[in-house]
Amino acid sequence: MFGRISKLIKGFFSLFISKVEQANPKALLEAESQALREAVALYNTNLAKQAAMVEKLKSRSERLRKKIEMTTGRAKALLASGDQKAAGRLALELKSLKSELSDLEGQTQQADDLYRNLTRQRDVYVRDANKRIESIKHKMSKAELAEAQADLAEIATATAFDIAGSGDTLARLEENLDERVAQASGKVRVAADHAAQGDWATKAAEEEALEAQALAEFASAMGMQTPSPNATQFLPEDKLRDLGPSQYS
């Protein structure tokens, strides 16, 4: 029973994580990139330790070679001097040192090969991981573009374009605008007619009548004949003053 519950819980969390991954691919990719950087940093730390071991073995081999060289020189000198017993001890020691150097060189070569293989393995792994990350980024951009196009296609499919209805709407709009223009023009016409028949026109007519009456009275008082309106209609006022009585008779 507990096993079934455990499987159910694992299945639930697995489904939950899958949905989160699908909903947040960028966050997941960034998390994987960060994990890769951390893994490479740890790998480089261990690789540095391996490189240090190789250098340590090389140093030991170099010291051993120098010791072998010195022991060889001493053994030759003792053998040349006739001290065969001492020369034999150094020859035995020299044999042991050479065996140790051979083993040490083998260890050094193995450690160095391991370091080089680990380095190549790291480079291949990182290169492959970077290629996959770039490929996923490209696919992610492609998926986003495809989804955007699909959304636009769904919107276009779901939207009903009624050409006839649109034409009727535009016609009604045009008629309304024409009606507004006509109403505005009518208001202007009414205002103009009202202005033409307003008080100022009446006052102008009254002034003209008063001027004609005053002129008639003046002419009668001066014993002059009132000029015909047609005769003086187009003469300026200063020209009228220059005309004598004989001009009007």
Q: Is residue 34 part of a domain?
A: yes
Domain that holds residue 125: 2-159
The answer to whether position 86 is within a domain reads yes
Residue 4: predicted pLDDT: 54
Based on the structure, what is the number of domains in the chain? Answer: 1
| CA dist list (Å): 166 to 152, 160, 171, 173 | 22, 11, 9, 11
pLDDT at 56: 93
Residue 46 has pLDDT above 70, yes or no: yes
Kindly state whether residue 190 falls inside one of the protein's structural domains: no
In a domain, 207, yes or no: no
What is the structure's pLDDT at 106? Answer: 93
In a domain, 172, yes or no: no
Question: Is 178 inside a domain boundary?
Answer: no
Provide the whole-model pTM: 0.46
* Residue that wins the pLDDT comparison between 157 and 108: 108
46 falls within a domain: yes
Asked if residue 174 belongs to a domain, the reply is no
* Structure letter (DSSP) for residue 213: H
Place of tokens 């792994």: 125
Phi-psi region of 170 (alpha: psi -120 to 50; beta: other; left: phi over 0): alpha
Mean pLDDT over 204-208 rounds to 76
pLDDT in tens, 165-192: 555 676 777 788 888 888 888 887 777 7
